[in-house]
Amino acid sequence: MPETKIDESADPVETEEDPWARYERVKLTPEQVAKGRTELQKEIDRARAEGVYEKLIEWRARRVANAESEEPDQREDPWARYERMKLTPEQVAQGRAELQRRIDKARAAGVYEELMKWKGKVHWDIDIDALREDRD
């Protein structure tokens, strides 16, 4: 790819340069333009030799044919989707039984008694200034 004569150190926001002066500064030389066109033509010739354009035309034809044969998108009724996704009574009962097992396990471990010891002693909303003091 051709190299441009752009000055990377200049910040376009801070400079109050005339747009035409900037255009002249970054404009490609005739040699750079010719080199770029030559490289582009080489890429076009390579793509033609590999049959890229024919493959693209075939792909587009298949895509158009498939699009015409498909039926228009049918939007599903939200309530039908809800009914389809709704848990069965057996699944609800299974979830409740699992939750009760976890509650019983926590009770046996004394989790609730530990929480009651901390009731009223823990302040959950900490002031941002207090957090900053801890960092210092």
Burial of 5 (0-12, 13-18, 19+ CB in 10 A): exposed
Q: How far is Cα 59 from Cα 97, in angstroms, rounded to an integer?
A: 55
Q: Where are the alpha helices (DSSP H) in 12-121?
A: 19-26, 30-50, 52-69, 78-85, 89-109, 111-118
The tens digit of pLDDT for each residue in 42-95 reads: 999 999 999 998 999 999 988 888 876 656 567 888 898 898 899 999 999 999
pLDDT for position 31: 93
CA pair distance 14, 9, nearest whole angstrom:
11
Rounded CA gap, 106 and 112, in Å? 7
Contacts (Cβ under 8 Å, ≥6 apart) of 33: 2
Q: Which residue has the tokens 């970054």?
A: 26
pLDDT 10s digits, 1-26:
455 555 555 555 555 778 888 888 88
CA–CA gap between residue 120 and residue 104 (Å, rounded) = 25
| pLDDT at residue 136 greater than cutoff 70 | no
